[in-house]
Amino acid sequence: MERIFTMPEAMKPEQTLYCPGCGHGIIHRLVAELVDEFGIRERTIGIAPVGCSVFADKYWNFDVISAAHGRAPAVATGMKRGRPDSFVICYQGDGDLAAIGTAETIHAANRGEQFVTVFVNNAIYGMTGGQMAPTTLIGQRSMTCQLGRDAEIMGYPIRVCELLKDLPGVAFMARGSVDSPKNVLKTKKYLKKAFSNVIEGKGYSFVEIVSTCPTNWGMTPVKALEWLRESMLEHYELGVFRDRDAEK
């Protein structure tokens, strides 16, 4: 009998401890599948950020480093510059990338650093128990905006791709989602482009992935997917925001 579906070699045979309906498991797997497809597992270094994915090392079967909160792009810069033959995946959440680490994110992009950024946007702080994120939607409730996010007081949800796409150092920038098989496949396509860009030394490549956090959204996994489609995708438009190759 032919085996047509297996665990990627770049995943450890472990059950993830993420909550039911969380997007991290899918996204970890997409990353791992691509590491295998490009045959780069032995020179890949993943960054486990502060947040729920801080233990990504338990799932990824390649070298992993844990970075301080928000500092993953700086750590990635140091690793890639120090060891140019490595392949670095900078995996970050919304608080990490777009709040505490905004400066590191912008400047790594602006320098055109040669690593892949995987930005998981679920519009909330997961590990600390559901606080407002820089990407929390207007009206969305969280532990620290219990009456709903009010733009007058708390500002607006940041669209990171739209913010960064015009920096000359950016080679590729896209936003996908993991709410449906179709979008999962499309997201994988974006990630694949980001991986190949970095392997070919074309520059900073960034994929934002709109994802779910049923636990902290206070929803069932099914309801969370519905809310993602109805509310998140309204504000966070999917698609390619920058592709330097297509501009030529």
Partner 1 sequence: MSGKVLMKGNEAIGEAAVQAGCQCYFGYPITPQNELTAYMSKRMLEEGRVFIQSESEIAAINMCFGAAAVGVRTMTSSSGPGISLKQEGISYTAGAELPLFFVNVMRGGPGLGNIAPSQADYFQCTKGGGHGDYRVLVYAPSDVQEQYDYTMLGFDMADRYRIPVLLATDGILGQMMEPLVLNEYKDPGDLPSKAAWRLGDPATKEPLWTTSVYLGDGELEEHNLKLQRKYDEIVEKEVRFEETSVDDADIVMVAYGTSARVAKSAMEMARAEGIKVGLHRPITLWPFPEKRLGEIAGSVDNMLAVEMSLGQMWEDVRLASCGACRVHLHGRTAGGIPEEAAIVDQIKKIMSSKGDEIIRNF
> Which residues of this protein are in contact with partner 1, per CB under 8 A?
42-45, 48, 54, 57, 60-68, 71, 74-83, 85-88, 103-104, 106-107, 111
* H-helix or E-strand spanning residue 113: none
In the complex with partner 1, the residue whose CB is nearer, 84 or 181, is: 84
Nearer to partner 1, 30 or 67 (CB): 67
Cβ 54 to partner 1, closest distance in Å? 6
Nearest distance from C-beta of residue 66 to partner 1, angstroms: 4
Q: In the bound complex, what is the minimum distance in angstroms from residue 98's beta carbon to partner 1?
A: 15
Query: Which residue number, 77 or 215, has a Cβ lying nearer to partner 1?
Result: 77
Nearer to partner 1, 79 or 225 (CB): 79
Contact 132, 158 (CB under 8 A): no
CB atoms within 10 A of CB 37: 14
Closest CA to 29 of 9, 43, 48, 44: 9
Minimum distance from residue 75 beta carbon to partner 1 (Å): 4
CB of 104 to partner 1, least distance (A): 5
Beta bridge partners of 121: 210
What minimum distance in Å lies between the beta carbon of 197 and partner 1?
Answer: 19
Which CB atom, from 51 or from 157, has the smaller least distance to partner 1? 51
Least spacing, CB of residue 103 vs partner 1, in Å: 5
- Residues 8, 28 contacting (CB under 8 angstroms): no
C-beta of 41 vs 223, nearer to partner 1: 41
Taking the mean position of all CA atoms in its chain, how far away is CA 123?
Answer: 12
Give dist(CA 193, CA 172) in Å, integer: 8
CA dist list (Å): 197 to 54, 87, 114, 186, 189? 26, 11, 9, 17, 12
Q: How far is C-alpha 146 from the geometric centre of its chain's CA atoms?
A: 26
**Which CB, 10 or 232, lies closer to partner 1?**
10
Residue pair 49/204 in contact (Cβ under 8 Å)? The answer is: no
Q: What is the rounded distance in angstroms from the CA atom of residue 19 to the CA atom of residue 213? A: 8
* Residue 13: both structure tokens together: 């045979």
